[in-house]
Structure 1
Amino acid sequence: MESNIELKRNSMKEASDKPVENSPEVDSKNDAVISQPKNKKKITIFISIAVLIISSIGGFFWYKSKENSVEPTPVAQKEVNENIFYKLDDIIVNLNTSDAQSRFLKIGITLQLNNKETVVKLDNSLPIIKDLIQSYLRELRPQDLNGSAGLYRIKDELLLRLNEIMLPNKIVDVLFRDILVQ
């Protein structure tokens, strides 16, 4: 029995050692080796065509989005670029102090407006605006005016209060010309 198994093993070994020219495995390997460069060329061409198509489609949509985008009209640009500065008279107020010594604040304010309609509204509301500014400034303490952060808070608060009066028009900014605390 052992001899039969050995014979079979030897015959299989000899069969595997012999190169077979027309066997399907060799042919398929040769085909794979021969066709591999062709497949690489085909894949490269296919990928480059796909990239070209995708980039063309992307470029088309990008161009269309640029074409359909809303460009600002010349009137809108004129309103945005039209800055008018309205100079208020200097304001002198007493500051809120807890001691007997009185302290004063002298402040020069300029308002930045965005159009001429706001100037007309501001002229009509000037007594109300002066009263609002003076009422707010009288409540300040000398410590509130310390540093740039304090002035920035005052500027923001004045801008907020003034824009409530000026609706629907808008004051763009409150600018301090000079500030004197005594």
Structure 2
Amino acid sequence: MTDVTESDDIDRGSAPAPQGRRKGLVLGGAVLGLLVVAGGGAYALMQSGVLGGAPAAEAMAVAEDVHFYDLPVMTVNLNTGGESVEFLRITASLEVRDAAMMEVIEPRIARVLDAFQVYLRELRRSDLEGSAGVYRIKEELQRRVNIAVYPAVVDDILFRELLVQ
């Protein structure tokens, strides 16, 4: 009797895996293989520059050619509709590509400050909430600055301080 029981255990141990488990393993392996191939392809395309990824040397060259023009600290009243008094204190820098543009911007800085003042005085506290609000303000200020300093071009506005009180 013991021989029959041992042979039954051996037969059960060598039985193939259930059909559903085998399909799951094959499907999981296929998905993993697809992810590896897609990741490798994306990496290769980024290194070649096709997907917008600039090579490292080119990115370093761009970073070295950037110049900054520091604007004075500005403090303005926010538009509260007469309910209370709220202030916005902002310190920003203008990012430009080369020093020649700095020379064009310098005599037009009064126009830049005026454009900032006019726009910032109409803001409400709710306009400054969240990163999306700050991004919209940054984009609008950049648009207004580029109009004020034309033919020069300001590539970006960098906030060093943005305080609402």
TM-score by length of 1: 0.55
Give me the whole-angstrom Cα distance separating, in 2, the residues matched to 1:78 and 1:175. 20
Give me the whole-angstrom Cα distance separating, in 1, the residues matched to 2:63 and 2:151. 16
Q: 2:88 aligns with which of 78, 85, 105?
A: 105
Q: 1:176 aligns with which of 138, 142, 159?
A: 159
Aligned-residue sequence identity (percent) comes to: 40
Query: Which protein has the larger Cα radius of gyration, Structure 1 or Structure 2?
Result: 1
Q: Of Structure 1 and Structure 2, which has the larger fraction of its residues in helix?
A: 1
2:108 is equivalent to residue 125 of structure 1: yes
How far has the Cα of 1:78 moved from its partner?
7.0
Partner of 1:71: none
Aligned positions, number = 106
Q: 1:91 aligns with which of 74, 99, 115?
A: 74
Q: 1:146 aligns with which of 120, 123, 129?
A: 129
Partner of 1:41: none
Please tell me whether the aligned partners of residues 80 and 114 of structure 1 are also in contact (alpha carbons under 8 angstroms).
no
Please tell me whether the aligned partners of residues 85 and 112 of structure 1 are also in contact (alpha carbons under 8 angstroms).
yes
How far has the Cα of 1:81 moved from its partner?
4.5
Partner of 2:56: none
Partner of 2:45: none
Give me the whole-angstrom Cα distance separating, in 1, the residues matched to 2:61 and 2:136. 30
Q: CA RMSD in A?
A: 1.8
Please tell me whether the aligned partners of residues 110 and 177 of structure 1 are also in contact (alpha carbons under 8 angstroms).
yes
Query: Where does the alignment leave 5 or more consecutive residues of structure 2 unmatched?
Result: 1-59
Give me the whole-angstrom Cα distance separating, in 1, the residues matched to 2:130 and 2:153. 27
Give me the whole-angstrom Cα distance separating, in 1, the residues matched to 2:93 and 2:102. 12
How far has the Cα of 1:79 moved from its partner?
7.8
Moved over 4 A (4+): 77-81
TM-score by length of 2: 0.60
Please tell me whether the aligned partners of residues 115 and 148 of structure 2 are also in contact (alpha carbons under 8 angstroms).
no
Give me the whole-angstrom Cα distance separating, in 2, the residues matched to 1:79 and 1:140. 34
